[in-house]
Structure 1
Amino acid sequence: MKRVLLLGGTGDALRIARQLGHEHVYSLAGLGKVPDDLPCAVRVGGFGGSEGMARYIADERIDLVIDATHPYAAQISANAVKAGGVARVPCWALRREAWQPQAGDDWRMVGDWAELTAALASFKRPLFTLGREPLAHLDEIPLQQFWTIRCLDAPETHPRARILATRGPFTLEGERALFSAEAFDVIVSKNSGGSATEAKLEVARECGLPVVMLRRPELPAVDREFANVADLLEALRVSA
């Protein structure tokens, strides 16, 4: 197998990392828990943009970059493609399929924070499932709203916000219990795809709640693109 630099942070990336040997590198930005039980090497921290990543690829004699970051991590995906081009190594990407609205869904698509807040203007108790981004806007909470923000860690407190420090996957039963206890009137989500956080959409559908959905960013073209972990691992095995 070629020496791989795996860009991760997602559950799918961790599944790939568990199949990599000691010569490969799993790179994390540093947010959340850093795994200490992987057979491959683990690198934590940024590269210093695409130029820094290109230098790392060359210095470490990387043969293949795999982008298995979050679908909304557009900057690191762009850096991976640029760095691969400079270092003249291929870049593959795991890009899981987006969720699709189903019968009974009320999705309101938005493109940025300004559109998102406008879409929430008539609601009182939103549940944010965007990660840490809403924490930067706690001082902008409208007087009529109380926010619940679910993210990996929660150092901040606020009189009109509850911050839930938790990590998926989330079960259907757990989401039903949370929604029942908190009486949300709207859900705010990224279209992340995958099963780990999909239960909230099913419960929103059951409860007749609207979902303000942040559109996926456009990501750069790569040498090979995969929709699931199994196909990517098989391609790695074949290319060994």
Structure 2
Amino acid sequence: MILLLGGTTEGKQVAGYLDEAGLDYLYSTRTAVKFEGKGIYRYGSLDEEGLKAFCRLNSVSLIINACHPFALALHNTVAALADQIPVIRFERVFPERTIGPLVHYADNFAGALMRIKNLDYRSMLALTGVQSIPMLSSFWQSYPCWFRILDRQYSIDLAAGYGFPATQLLFGLTQDMEEEIELFRRINPQVILTKESGFNGKLDAKIKAALSCGIPIFIIKKPELSPLFHRVHHIDDLINQLKTGNL
């Protein structure tokens, strides 16, 4: 049995291929999502022991990790099993890092926040998701800050639980460059913070829009993943891995 860890565009792509190939699989996400594939769907967080038990119960012989690049806790949990169960990491494609005076990369949120404060920026547009709200609390409790989050009740409730003002929430997904420019000009923050989310996360559009508006943009680098993962970036590469069993 294949365990597909999804909740992303990549997860849907892999599920579509597995459906076409007639392969049995389990599709797992952290929170409930609408899933129309042929696999068996489940949702909920799994720690290391929970994942081990789940794989044992369902005779999982292969894990395809297609979850978000910043789902670090899950990546680490899967890595703990990678010497026992083969893991294919189906990873989105990332643009080359942009070099320029307005583009800054940071290893983590703490590092980005320190540099933003040292440069004395006093308003921020955060495109880093609802779960990053507590990581940036020392900034938004002192200065104007806007967070763009998904327009769903789970995210709204989470933001409220963090104590973030509802009037400073923006809803929706990343748009194309022109729409991002419109948003950036309307909010007019002194700095923008985002994550290295790849082409599927439209990182290139965010960077181009920020540069067009002359606004500095800080980018949290994607986490490094386990060397035990077998990495592929395209469906054809995944198909080849599954057919050859070269794991």
Alignment TM class, shorter chain as reference? 0.7 to 0.9
Q: Which residue of 2 is the match for residue 154 of structure 1?
A: 156
Whether the 8 Å CA contact 2:181–2:212 is kept in 1: the answer is no
CA gap 1:143/1:52 in 2 versus in 1, 3 angstroms: closer
Q: Which residue of 2 is the match for residue 101 of structure 1?
A: 97
1:50 partner amino acid: E
Q: Which residue of 1 is the match for residue 30 of structure 2?
A: 29
Q: Write the distance in 2 (CA, Å) between the matches of 1:110 and 1:138.
A: 14
Whether the 8 Å CA contact 1:119–1:212 is kept in 2: the answer is no
- Give a deviation string over 1:168-217, Cα, whole Å, max 9, x none: 4x222321221121112211111111233221111012222211111222
2:54 partner amino acid: Y
Q: Write the distance in 2 (CA, Å) between the matches of 1:142 and 1:58.
A: 44
Of 225-234 and 171-180, deviating more is: 225-234
| 1:196 pairs with 2:201 | yes
Correspondences of 1:137-216 after superposition (within 5 Å) = 139-141=137-139, 145-152=143-150, 153-155=155-157, 156=160, 158=164, 162-168=168-174, 170-198=175-203, 199-216=205-222
Query: TM-score normalised to the size of structure 1?
Result: 0.84
| 1:224 pairs with 2:230 | yes
Whether the 8 Å CA contact 1:172–1:200 is kept in 2: the answer is yes
2:49 aligned to which of 25, 48, 51:
51
| 1:120 pairs with 2:85 | no
Q: CA deviation at 1:101?
A: 3.2
Of 70-79 and 153-162, deviating more is: 153-162
Matched residue count: 232
Q: Which residue of 1 is the match for residue 17 of structure 2?
A: 19
RMSD: 2.6
Q: CA deviation at 1:229?
A: 3.6
Segments of structure 2 that go 5 or more residues without pairing to the other structure are none
Q: Write the distance in 2 (CA, Å) between the matches of 1:36 and 1:10.
A: 11
Q: Which residue of 2 is the match for residue 236 of structure 1?
A: 242
Q: CA deviation at 1:237?
A: 4.8
2:124 partner amino acid: P
Whether the 8 Å CA contact 2:124–2:146 is kept in 1: the answer is yes
Q: Which residue of 1 is the match for residue 107 of structure 2?
A: 111
Q: CA deviation at 1:91?
A: 0.8
Whether the 8 Å CA contact 2:30–2:44 is kept in 1: the answer is yes
Secondary structure of the 2:81 match is: helix
Q: CA deviation at 1:51?
A: 2.1
Query: TM-score normalised to the size of structure 2?
Result: 0.81
Segments of structure 1 that go 5 or more residues without pairing to the other structure are none
Whether the 8 Å CA contact 2:127–2:148 is kept in 1: the answer is yes
Larger helix fraction of residues: 2
